Structure 1
Amino acid sequence: MPRQSLGFFPTPLVELAKLSDKLNGPKIFMKRDDNTGLALGGNKTRKLEFIMGDALKQGADTVITAGAAQSNHCRQTAGAAASLGLECHLVLGGEEPDQVQGNLLLDQIFGCHIHWAGAHRKGEDIPKIVEQLKKEGKKPYVIPYGGSNELGAIAFVEAFRELEFQRESMGVAFTHIVFASSSGATHAGLMLGDRIFGSDCQIVGINIDKGEMDQVPFDEHIVALANSTARLIDIDYQFSDSDLILNDDYVGEGYGVIGHLENEAIATLAQTEGILLDPVYTGRAMGGLLDMIRSGQIKQTDRVLFWHTGGAPALFAYANDLNVAEKR
């Protein structure tokens, strides 16, 4: 499949020994996809290598995608488009803010065109913008919300292969892989990679959003995407609901609403390991992991990998919602 190099791979696999000691818990490792390099990094770089490869193969001169105002996916898409000489249009939820910061500031620096869409942060307004671009003589290519289609999932099958080489060289086998699950392709790809490579660990997505994907319940969307990706690469696997682990316990007040869970996780990791999480995705997912360890759902004898999907630029936009001083 076409693939356009955009990031720095493999990303580091590190042990969080100080965090484990603080929790008196299991061995905890981290896959540092916040270090992919493109536009300050993040897991979407992996997906965009395959998606942009397909866009270039189809002769596109413009890409368009959607997300929240502080979307990490949109920021990395803007960076990728700039590096490839493609025009970029972002359809962002909400209204234009008085102060531009975080990911939105980076979107503007990359020179993309921003369309504000109110409540439509998942691309509902994209079709009419595509038609306008075609009338202008452009060749637009639509990138799905979160980069979450079969190409995005294939990127995380490849990511699992990368992880296998690293963990074997370190002599460790994981019992759990924990990560933020939002638009589905990371989750679907890791499920498929786990099956292909026979690692037999639990693939645990922490749900960070109450919403649906394409008007389909999120759990059903992930399973369907895993199955369609398997078909695309001629792998004879069929996933069912029983294969999916999607933890809904930490959604809280909803997408992007920051509470004690996220604040504590951000402060704890920063002040033990010097690693920054973001307030929307990895902060919530790490908060879920900390609770699962403290409640005994993950045992002291387990070996856990937390997949850091990036997003730290959003910290600046959520400064008023962060209260990490209480952890000092």
Structure 2
Amino acid sequence: MDLSAFPRVALGSWPTPLDDAPRLAAALGGPPILIKRDDVNGLGAGGNKLRKLEFLLGQALEQGADTIITFGALQTNHGRQTAAACAKLGLRCELVLTAKVPMEGDAYERSGNIVLDHMFGANVHVCADAEESAAAYEKVNHDKAVTLPTGGSNGLGTLGYVAAAAELVGQLHERGIDNALVVVPDGSGATAAGMALGTELLGWPGTVHAVSVSHPAAEAEQVLRSLGAEAAGLLGEPAPELGHVTVTDDTVGPGYGVPTPEMWSVLKLFAETEGVVLDPVYTGKTAVKFREIAAVGEVPIVFLHTGGLPGFYGYAPEAVARFGPA
């Protein structure tokens, strides 16, 4: 897979580590577990969006952009990483955020990702609904502005995880692992789509399990396939079959960004066995499904850690109530 034809800016430190998780595997009583640490990149507190932004901002700079506009929920990881990347590249960043998650209080509304957005110099527009968001967008859009989709999820952004798939398969091969199950969070879709497309193009014999954290499984799969086809088209390839991909939604709980008891328990499990912190929105709910799969798995299982640590602090009161000192 030759991605050299696409403009790209260096934002991350690749490859990210692929760590063994023996204590987690022992606790679950299943096959070997590895954690792909896409959370540990330094820029903007790390996370999966940096891979997408390398391509998205590479194209924006080639087009002569001086401003980047993007969207998300109040505690958006994508917005925080976009703000950090814009700071590094000297671009103006406009974040149009919608308070669509039913969470409130100072921790959620003023800390976590949103305080970092301001620290990175972004102009943050907090909107109550879609109508207000559209009005805010119209005010900041101009000829030299480039608009990025929510989560950086379009065909071009998906290429970031096509590259990640090649990286991961290479790391597994170096360990003598040619068949594994990769469990990946699925929100706006491009991370899972890129991993699915990349592994198919490589002819890798393993499987990919996408855990939806926001949408019904059928809708999430449709988006994944659409993004995969769009990215394949950019590469001059036919739409992928994706027969090795499964999509589930049974750990979403009451809704996107709303904590569940199972999510809190698996955050504690990862923390006390491997010292790894997950976030309540993406990796936490994905890990609930991962725990279920790993307990009965037969091949090595890779957990794709997409980051989100700053968002954890938006849920600090709930975390303190569960894990803090008595």
For normalisation by structure 1, the TM-score amounts to 0.89
Q: Is the counterpart of residue 208 in structure 1 residue 208 in structure 2?
A: no
Matching residue within 314, 320, 323 for 2:317: 320
How many correspondences in the alignment?
A: 314
Cross-structure match for 2:236: 234
Q: Unaligned stretches of 5+ in structure 1?
A: none
Q: Is the counterpart of residue 110 in structure 1 residue 120 in structure 2?
A: yes
The letter for the 2-side match of 1:248 is D
After superposition, residues 1-328 of structure 1 pair within 5 angstroms as 1-94=6-99, 98=106, 100-120=110-130, 128-134=135-141, 139-210=144-215, 217-239=219-241, 244-294=245-295, 296=296, 299=297, 301-322=298-319, 324-325=322-323
The letter for the 1-side match of 2:178 is A
Does the 8 Å contact 1:16/1:29 carry over to 2? yes
Shift of 1:52: 0.5
Q: Unaligned stretches of 5+ in structure 2?
A: 1-5
Secondary structure (helix, strand or coil) at the match of 2:168 reads: helix
Shift of 1:324: 4.4
Shift of 1:127: 5.3
Distance 1:259 1:55 in 2: 38
Shift of 1:119: 3.5
Partner deviation per Cα, 1:105-149 (whole Å, 9 max, x = no partner): 1001011111112244xxx766544543356xx611001000000
Does the 8 Å contact 1:174/1:304 carry over to 2? no
Shift of 1:168: 1.5
Does the 8 Å contact 2:229/2:238 carry over to 1? no
Does the 8 Å contact 1:160/1:190 carry over to 2? yes
The letter for the 1-side match of 2:223 is H
Partner deviation per Cα, 1:6-34 (whole Å, 9 max, x = no partner): 11111001110110011111111010000
Distance 1:48 1:320 in 2: 32
Distance 1:4 1:259 in 2: 38
Mark the CA change 1:117 to 1:302 in structure 2 (over 3 Å): closer, same or farther: same
> What is the aligned-residue identity percentage?
39
The letter for the 2-side match of 1:272 is T
The letter for the 1-side match of 2:79 is C
Shift of 1:196: 1.0
Shift of 1:237: 4.0
Distance 2:238 2:36 in 1: 28
Does the 8 Å contact 2:12/2:43 carry over to 1? yes
Mark the CA change 1:127 to 1:197 in structure 2 (over 3 Å): closer, same or farther: same
